[in-house]
Structure 1
Amino acid sequence: MTRLSSTARAAVPYLPLGLFAALGAILAYVWKLPCRTGGWNNSVQTYANACYTDIYPLFFDRQLHTQNPYFADVPFDKQVEYPVVLGEVMQVIAWLVRWMTPDEATQAVRFYDITVILLGISLVVGVLLMAAAAGPTRRWDAAWYALAPAVILAAYINWDLIAGALSMGFLLAWARGRQVLAGVLLGLAIATKFYPLMFVGALFLLTVRTWKWRPFLITMGSAAAAWLVVNVPFMVLAWEGWRRFYVFSQERGIDWGSPWLFFERKGWPILGSMDPSLLGMISLALLCLGIAVLTVLAPQRPRLAQICFLALAAFMMTNKVWSPQFVLWLVPFAVLARPNWKPIALWQVAEVWYFFAIWLYLLYQDEDTKHLGIGDNVYFTAVWGRIITILILMAFVVRDILRPDKDLVRQAGVDDPVGGVFDRAPDRFSLA
Structure 2
Amino acid sequence: MNLPPGGHVHPTQDDAFLASFSEGVGGPVGSRAGRHPWWTPVRVVLALATICLALGLVQKSSCYQASWQNGVERYTHMCYSDLPYQYTGRGLAELSWPYSDDEEVRARYPVMEYPAVIAYWAWGTAHVTHWLSGSPDLSPRYATPADRLAGLEGITDEARRYVAVNAVGLAGLALVAVWLLAGVHRHRPWDAALVAASPALLLTAWINWDLLALVFVAGALWAWSRDRPVLTGVMIGLGTATKLYPLFLLGALLVIGIRERRLKDVAAAALFALVAWGFANLPGYVSGPDEWAHFWTFNSDRGADLGSLWLVIDQAYDVGFDPATINLWSWGLFAVWCLGVLVIGLRAPETPRFAQLGLLILIGFLLLNKVYSPQYVLWLLPLAALARPRWRDHLVWQGGEVFYFAMVWFYLGGFLDPSGGGDVGFYWVAILVRALAELYLVGLVVRDVLRPEHDPVRARPPGPPQSMTTRSNVVAV
Q: TM-score range by the shorter chain?
A: 0.7 to 0.9
Asked if 1:86 is matched to 2:118, the reply is: yes
> Which structure 2 segments of 5+ residues have no match?
1-35, 137-153, 463-477
State the alpha-carbon separation in 2 of the partners of residues 274 and 183 from structure 1.
31
Cα distance change, pair 86–270 in 1 and its aligned pair in 2 (3 A): closer
Kindly report which structure 2 residues correspond to 1:75-224, keeping only aligned pairs within 5 A, or say none: 75=107, 78-101=110-133, 102=136, 103-136=154-187, 138-224=188-274
**1:68-120 per-position Cα deviation (integer Å, ceiling 9, x unaligned):** 12114315971111111110110011112223323322221111000011111
Q: CA deviation at 1:295?
A: 1.2
Q: TM-score, normalised by structure 1?
A: 0.88
Cross-structure match for 1:263 = 313
Tell me the SS of whatever aligns to 2:92: coil
Asked if 1:53 is matched to 2:104, the reply is: no
State the alpha-carbon separation in 2 of the partners of residues 352 and 164 from structure 1.
19
Cross-structure match for 1:342 = 392
State the alpha-carbon separation in 2 of the partners of residues 273 and 241 from structure 1.
21
Identity of aligned residues (%): 35
Tell me the SS of whatever aligns to 1:383: helix
State the alpha-carbon separation in 2 of the partners of residues 87 and 216 from structure 1.
29
State the alpha-carbon separation in 1 of the partners of residues 340 and 321 from structure 2.
20
State the alpha-carbon separation in 1 of the partners of residues 455 and 86 from structure 2.
44
Q: CA deviation at 1:408?
A: 1.5
Cα distance change, pair 105–77 in 1 and its aligned pair in 2 (3 A): closer
Question: What amino acid maps onto 1:277 in structure 2?
Answer: N
Tell me the SS of whatever aligns to 2:359: helix
State the alpha-carbon separation in 2 of the partners of residues 366 and 181 from structure 1.
47
Cα distance change, pair 351–76 in 1 and its aligned pair in 2 (3 A): farther
Question: What amino acid maps onto 2:446 in structure 1?
Answer: V
Q: TM-score, normalised by structure 2?
A: 0.80
Q: CA deviation at 1:375?
A: 6.4
State the alpha-carbon separation in 2 of the partners of residues 318 and 356 from structure 1.
21
Cross-structure match for 2:90 = 62
Tell me the SS of whatever aligns to 1:133: coil
Q: CA deviation at 1:233?
A: 2.8
Alpha carbons 2:217, 2:236 under 8 Å: kept: yes
Cross-structure match for 1:410 = 458
Of 7, 11, 25 in structure 1, the residue corresponding to residue 53 of structure 2 is: 25
Cα distance change, pair 264–298 in 1 and its aligned pair in 2 (3 A): same
Question: What amino acid maps onto 1:206 in structure 2?
Answer: I
Cross-structure match for 2:374 = 324
Question: What amino acid maps onto 2:258 in structure 1?
Answer: V
Cross-structure match for 1:231 = 281
Cα distance change, pair 104–268 in 1 and its aligned pair in 2 (3 A): closer
State the alpha-carbon separation in 2 of the partners of residues 24 and 329 from structure 1.
17
Alpha carbons 2:363, 2:380 under 8 Å: kept: yes
**1:255-301 per-position Cα deviation (integer Å, ceiling 9, x unaligned):** 11001100000117698998222221111111111111111122222
Of the two, which has the highest radius of gyration?
Answer: 2
More off after superposition, 171-180 vs 319-328: 171-180
State the alpha-carbon separation in 2 of the partners of residues 196 and 32 from structure 1.
28
State the alpha-carbon separation in 2 of the partners of residues 181 and 249 from structure 1.
29
Cross-structure match for 1:388 = 436
Larger RCO, structure (CA 8 Å, separation 6 or more): 2
Q: CA deviation at 1:231?
A: 1.1
Question: What amino acid maps onto 1:182 in structure 2?
Answer: T
Of 65, 68, 86 in structure 2, the residue corresponding to residue 37 of structure 1 is: 65
Cα distance change, pair 404–271 in 1 and its aligned pair in 2 (3 A): farther
State the alpha-carbon separation in 2 of the partners of residues 276 and 77 from structure 1.
28
Asked if 1:363 is matched to 2:395, the reply is: no
Tell me the SS of whatever aligns to 1:196: helix
Alpha carbons 2:217, 2:382 under 8 Å: kept: no
Alpha carbons 1:267, 1:273 under 8 Å: kept: no
Q: How many residues align?
A: 403
Of 343, 358, 366 in structure 2, the residue corresponding to residue 308 of structure 1 is: 358
Q: CA deviation at 1:180?
A: 2.1
State the alpha-carbon separation in 1 of the partners of residues 240 and 426 from structure 2.
35
State the alpha-carbon separation in 1 of the partners of residues 340 and 364 from structure 2.
10
More off after superposition, 144-153 vs 49-58: 144-153
Kindly report which structure 2 residues correspond to 1:272-287, keeping only aligned pairs within 5 A, or say none: 275-287=325-337
Task: From the two aligned structures, give the one with the greater helix fraction.
Answer: 1
More off after superposition, 92-101 vs 121-130: 92-101
Question: What amino acid maps onto 2:453 in structure 1?
Answer: D
State the alpha-carbon separation in 2 of the partners of residues 305 and 41 from structure 1.
40
Q: CA deviation at 1:30?
A: 0.6
Alpha carbons 1:360, 1:374 under 8 Å: kept: no
State the alpha-carbon separation in 2 of the partners of residues 382 and 355 from structure 1.
9
> Which structure 1 segments of 5+ residues have no match?
1-7, 415-432
- Cα RMSD (Å): 2.5
State the alpha-carbon separation in 2 of the partners of residues 291 and 269 from structure 1.
30
State the alpha-carbon separation in 2 of the partners of residues 47 and 386 from structure 1.
19
